[in-house]
Amino acid sequence: MICPPLPRAPLVDDWMDRHRNQISFALHIVGIPPTIVGVLLIPIYLGLMSRPVFLVALIAFTGGYVLQFTGHWVDGTESGEMRWIKKQWSKFTKPNKTEKK
């Protein structure tokens, strides 16, 4: 039995809406893999305590993020990380509605 395709998740739609520019999209496609590789190399570095592995992880992670943030700059949109940080920050800075003045 062939099932019809499922609709895209709201998270995917949000990501696609924030990456409409082709250059931004391309920078993300190139920048996301090295960012992930950089994170995945951390346990290897911790196991080996190898300075070259650490440097490769650091360069891959920061280089990937630089490409992604450049994409957001080109697109004129906020990164997902900045949106998340602002959302968390607003939880602490908004006055509590239950307090009486």
> Residue 96: what pLDDT?
61
Q: Taking the model in full, what pTM does it have?
A: 0.74
> Residue 74: what pLDDT?
92
100 occurs within a structural domain: no
6 occurs within a structural domain: no
29 occurs within a structural domain: yes
Q: Kindly provide the b/e burial profile for residues 39-71, where b requires at least 16 CB atoms within 10 angstroms of the residue's own CB.
A: eebeeebeeeeeeebbebbeebbeebbebbeeb
> Residue 32: what pLDDT?
95
pLDDT band at 11 (very low <50, low <70, confident <90, very high): confident
The CB-side HSE value for 44 (13 A sphere, CA atoms) comes to: 13
23 occurs within a structural domain: yes
Q: What would you report as the CA-atom Rg of the chain, rounded to the nearest whole angstrom?
A: 19
Query: In angstroms, rounded to a whole number, what is the distance separating the alpha carbons of residues 32 and 41?
Result: 14
79 occurs within a structural domain: yes
101 occurs within a structural domain: no
As for how many domains the chain has, the answer is 1
- In tens, the pLDDT along 30-46 reads 999 999 999 999 999 88
> Residue 100: what pLDDT?
54
Q: What is the residue range of 70's domain?
A: 19-91
What angle separates helix 51-75 from helix 22-48, to the nearest 10 degrees? 160
74 occurs within a structural domain: yes
4 occurs within a structural domain: no
